[in-house]
């Protein structure tokens, strides 16, 4: 009998091969050897794997159905209809089976789902208390102590008004400066994830509607009708469509307070539908959801370049119990599977 000669595979080839595998396979392959386990669980590998995955269109979408008062939350992951040809009833994953504590899904980013109950989670592991008399800012860093700690905003005291937008290592959100009763109090806050620093830039006062306290809301605690989006690498602010259309503001030069504005009109077949803005996706389209749900559940995509609109029906979602509830919200986000964990 001849003894088998061990086959030598260079370490860099092993790592490059592992980087191409899906998360489910990597979790299983941790038990192959101590070497593979140390590679797969290392922070550098996890970040590199996610960066490779996120360089392509997201394979899945995350949809959350939220009942504010009943604290009922349904979170599903579906194949991205912009990547695959169809979404069938057997292709969704019910993430509610995981023990998710909270009642609002704010967004998803870098493979993590931001779920809140009391704090306004505006971005990648940055949480703000939106109560104006408290104004707490907290962050958590993965791979370290992984506990929430204070990160005060020294730029200026402010109240958060919008959900966060994560773009190129920075979290952006709309806010207004506390204790300043002026149209000039509307700001966009920038939080640099790497340096953990806050900066602000002003929203031009001419963009604040007459009679409004700031750009983001009218008076008091009224909810904002505006959403921050990634518009070709620039910050965009899009308002929820009214009877026949909506406006989009784009920050052309933050320091010079140069903004552009465009108006878009809905196709005649959608005029009068009450839409909410979800986000922009890799396709460059704005995702809209009707406040009046249909069966099957539908996503609507507005192409800002072609000024056209299309709908995608998502079959088989278990949302029958939610149709009877009044205080409902829906969140739609790009979703990448990730090795990162809290």
Is the Cβ–Cβ distance between 148 and 137 less than 8 Å?
A: no
Distance between start and end Cα atoms, the chain: 51
- Supply the DSSP string of 157-213, one letter for each residue: -EEE-S--EEETTEEEEEEEETT--SGGGEEEEEEETTTTEEEEEEPPGGGSPTT-S
> For the CA atoms of 44, 171, 53, 314, what is the dihedral angle to 10 degrees?
150
Q: Name, in order, each residue with C-beta under 8 angstroms of 104's C-beta and a sequence gap of 6 or more.
A: 66, 68, 73, 115, 116, 117, 329, 331
* Confidence band of 13 (pLDDT split at 50, 70, 90): very high
Mean pLDDT in residue range 247-269: 90
Cβ-Cβ contacts under 8 Å for 133 (sequence gap 6 or more): none
How far is it, in rounded angstroms, from Cα 178 to Cα 192?
22
Which DSSP letter does residue 96 get?
G
Which pLDDT score is estimated for 83? Answer: 72
Share of residues in the chain with pLDDT > 90 (%) = 11
Please indicate whether residue 135 or residue 330 has the higher confidence score (pLDDT): 330
Q: Report how far residue 108's alpha carbon sits from residue 336's, in angstroms, rounded to the nearest whole number.
A: 9
Residue 63 in 3-state DSSP?
Answer: strand
- Which of 60-64, 110-114, 247-251, 271-275 has the lowest average pLDDT? 110-114
> Looking at the predicted structure, is the pLDDT value of residue 45 above 50?
yes
pTM of the full structure:
0.76
pLDDT digits (tens, 9 = 90+) for 65-116: 877 665 677 788 888 877 765 544 447 777 765 655 556 666 666 666 776 6
Q: Which of 96, 38, 84 is nearest to 57 (CA)?
A: 84
Q: Residue 327 has what DSSP assignment? A: S
Query: 215-256 pLDDT, tens per residue?
Result: 886 555 456 788 898 888 899 999 888 877 899 999 999 888
Tens of pLDDT along 155-208?
577 788 888 888 888 889 888 887 655 556 888 988 887 787 888 888 887 887
| pLDDT class of 1 with cuts at 50, 70, 90 | low
Question: Measured in whole angstroms, how far is the alpha carbon of residue 53 from the centre of its chain?
Answer: 17
Number of residues that this document lists for the chain: 342
């Amino acid at each position: 009998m001849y003894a088998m000669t061990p086959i030598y595979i260079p370490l860099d080839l092993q790592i490059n091969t592992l980087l191409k595998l899906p998360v489910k396979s990597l979790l299983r392959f941790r038990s192959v050897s101590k070497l593979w386990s140390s590679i797969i669980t290392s922070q550098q590998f996890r970040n590199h794997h996610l960066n490779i995955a996120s360089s392509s269109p997201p394979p899945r979408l995350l949809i959350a159905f939220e009942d504010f008062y009943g604290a009922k939350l349904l979170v599903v992951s579906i194949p991205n209809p912009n990547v695959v040809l169809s979404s069938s009833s057997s292709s969704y994953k019910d993430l509610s089976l995981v023990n998710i504590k909270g009642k609002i899904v704010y967004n998803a980013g870098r493979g993590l789902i931001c779920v809140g109950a009391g704090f306004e989670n505006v971005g990648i592991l940055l949480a703000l208390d939106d109560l104006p008399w408290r104004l707490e800012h907290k962050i958590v860093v993965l791979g370290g102590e992984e506990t929430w700690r204070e990160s005060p905003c020294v730029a200026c005291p402010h109240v958060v008004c919008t959900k966060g937008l994560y773009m190129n290592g920075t979290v952006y959100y709309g806010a207004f400066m506390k204790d300043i009763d002026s149209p000039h109090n509307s700001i966009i806050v920038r939080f640099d994830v790497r340096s953990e620093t806050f900066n602000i830039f002003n929203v031009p006062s001419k963009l604040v509607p007459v009679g409004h306290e700031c750009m983001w809301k009218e008076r008091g605690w009224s909810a904002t009708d505006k959403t921050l989006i990634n518009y070709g690498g620039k910050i965009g602010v899009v308002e929820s469509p009214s009877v026949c259309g909506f406006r989009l503001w784009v920050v052309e030069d933050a320091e010079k307070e140069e903004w552009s504005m465009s108006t878009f009109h809905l196709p005649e077949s959608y005029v009068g539908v009450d839409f909410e803005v979800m986000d922009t996706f890799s396709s460059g389209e704005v995702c809209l959801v009707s406040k009046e749900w249909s069966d099957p559940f539908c996503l609507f995509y507005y192409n800002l370049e072609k000024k056209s609109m299309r709908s995608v029906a998502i079959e088989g979602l278990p949302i029958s119990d939610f149709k009877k509830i009044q205080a409902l919200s829906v969140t739609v986000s790009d979703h990448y599977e990730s090795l990162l964990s809290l």
